[in-house]
A and B are shown apart, each in its own frame.
Chain A
Amino acid sequence: MTPSALALVDVLAAEGGGGDSGFQAPGLGEFYPEVIGSFSVLGVSFEITRITIILWIATLAISALLLAMARNPKIVPGRLQFLGESGYSLVRDGIARDVVGPKGLPFAPFLVALFFFILANNLMSIIPFAQISPMSKFAFPLLLAMICWVIYIVVGIRNQGAGKYFKDILFLPGVPKPMYVLVTPIEILQNFIVRPFTLAVRLFANMFAGHMLLVVFSLGAVYLFQVGNYSVIFGPVSVLMAIVMTFFELLVIFLQAYVFTVLMGTYLNGSIEAEH
């Protein structure tokens, strides 16, 4: 049983019982589903849960879709190829070329993979029966942010040389010397801690909050319908909100995948081109 279903049982049980406990709002348990199986490799324990299964479904689905779209490409694209090219070009031209800069095209495949991986996982939050995004588990956005963090630092060192790259970050050019007391700590914090953290938290929080909203309105509707008093008239409002929020979630899904990729693009741009 999913945590949402358990919460639903709680809602129903509360009413069936005394009726004095009221509506039990879903909690963090949503994001810690029961462990289906677990194993341990080299002391690291792995748990198989609903969410890891959803992660794999999303991963394999997007891989299969990308392969299908890129299989046997034609000069005049078919419908599927056109879809794939549109997505690929969105990232390649819109981010790798225009945001990262003229030297950004080699990063296009990485950015494309990043975009589609996040998009596929985000989409799981509104796909029926899955209805939770792996990105609402902090582990996955954090992982992606850490990968980005490593990449943009390595690219910066490679393009500008370690000395110049760190010097430019520590001592921002064009700033009066006394100001370094203030600017240098901010810059260090900004480049090495805040950037990856905000990148991860932004995505995680959006998906986390989106899921909570959907669950609250859905369970709330069920509760209002079966509570048995005048509250029934508010039931449809809750249903409507759940539907509206689903569409809002769809927007957030695309937006967050895009924002994550664009921000990575700007960080790469900063690493490739020397600070001005």
Chain B
Amino acid sequence: MVDTMLTWAAEAEHNPLLPPLGEIIIGLIAFAVVLFVVFKFVAPAFEKAFVARRDAIEGGIERAEAMQAEAKAALEQYRAQLAEARTEAAQIRDAARAEGQQILEELRAQAQEESARIVARGEEQLTAQRQQVVNQLRGEIGALAVDLAGRVVGESLADDARRSGTVDRFLDELDGMSAGTASADGRGGNSAYVPQGDR
């Protein structure tokens, strides 16, 4: 009991809101220690770590971005090359087609020329042969006719010139008749070589 009373008495001396100066100074020193530690070691270390981490992350992002840009550039390049190759191929194809066309045209023209020449020569030959045949026939028919007429009449026509004139006239008449028939029939072509199918 006495002890307790003494304790109470002792407590009455103390005012909790009036601290002794010594305690404040001790507290100041203690806080200064923590302050020093934080200012000198902790804050710089953590700030450095934060900066390093941000750099690492940003560096990573930058690297990734650079790689992406590179890949994109490569892709663009490939696309451009592909497009170039395509246009080139198209050009080559067009050129080849044009060339082929030209060659074809040339060949056709050549062939036509050739065929025209062949046809022309054939016609020429044909005309010449016909002329030859006509002349031969004319001579032979004339001789035959004269011969026949001589035999029928029994006398030889003395004047060759007159004889040949008569024959020629006759043949011309024959010719004219034949030509008239041919045009009336609507068949073009050679008067000397009339087909007999109609008769």
Contact = CB atoms under 8 A, between A and B. Distances in A.
A binds B: yes
A123 B52 CA distance: 33
A203 B22 CA distance: 20
Contacts of B34: 59, 62-63, 66, 113, 116-117, 120
A85 B45 CA distance: 10
Interface of B: 1, 3-4, 7-8, 10-11, 14, 16-28, 30-31, 33-35, 37-39, 41-43, 45-46, 48-49, 52-53, 56
Interface in A1-40: 6, 10, 21, 24, 27-29, 31-32
Given A55-B27, A75-B49, A67 B19 contact: no
A93 B18 CA distance: 36
B80 to A, nearest CB: 41
Contact of B46 (A31, A55, A85, A120): A85
B35 A113 contact: yes
A150 B55 CA distance: 37
A32 B42 contact: no
Contacts of B14: 28, 31-32
A77 interface: yes
A70 B46 contact: yes
A258 to B, nearest CB: 16
Interface string A74-92: 1101000100110010001
Nearest to A62: B34
B33 A59 contact: yes
B46 A45 contact: no
B18, B31, B52, B56 — most chain A CB neighbours (10 Å): B31
B7, B46, B49 — most chain A CB neighbours (10 Å): B46
A10 B3 contact: yes
Interface residues of A, number: 53
B43 A52 contact: no
A108 B44 CA distance: 11
A112 B31 contact: no
A73 B48 contact: yes
Given A55-B26, A84-B46, 8 more contacts: A29-B10, A58-B30, A66-B41, A73-B52, A85-B49, A108-B43, A112-B43, A143-B27
A138 B11 contact: no
Contacts of A60: 33
A139 B43 contact: no
A120 B35 CA distance: 13
A28 B11 contact: yes
B42 A66 contact: yes
Interface string A43-72: 011110000100110111011001101110
Contacts of B43: 88, 108-109, 112
